């Protein structure tokens, strides 16, 4: 699989995992549940907890994979960022 397709599917996976984790996290928020007049007995909390936990783990793993695949770009960009700052310091001192 080419790198563009790999990045695409990793990003789609991260997006889906984020949405699942975010929505289930909001639903599990105690003040929000009571504000809508619901009780935890009315919601499938066990299933929501399983979805929330697994989507968070999957999101974390996909983010880690994403960072590993982009490590060269991250390293290069970081070096360029700090190199420019150092060059500006040298120019201002002259």
**pLDDT for the residue 42:** 74
17-67: pLDDT as tens digits: 999 999 999 888 877 777 877 777 777 888 999 999 999 999 999 999 999
Size of the chain, expressed as the number of residues it contains: 94
Question: Between the CA of residue 89 and those of 79, 86, 93, what are the distances in Å?
Answer: 15, 5, 6
Whether residue 89 is predicted with pLDDT greater than 70 in this model: the reply is no
CA–CA dist 80, 91 (Å, integer): 16
pLDDT of residue 57: 98
Q: What is the pLDDT of residue 35?
A: 80
């Amino acid at each position: 699989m080419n790198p563009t397709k790999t990045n695409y599917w990793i990003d789609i996976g991260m997006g889906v995992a984020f949405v699942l984790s975010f929505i289930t996290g909001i639903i599990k928020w105690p003040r929000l549940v009571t504000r809508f007049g619901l009780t935890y007995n009315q919601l499938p909390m066990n299933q929501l907890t399983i979805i929330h936990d697994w989507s968070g783990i999957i999101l974390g793993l996909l983010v880690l994979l994403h960072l590993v695949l982009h490590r060269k770009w991250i390293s290069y960009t970081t070096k360029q960022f700090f190199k420019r700052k150092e060059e500006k310091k040298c120019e201002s001192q002259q």
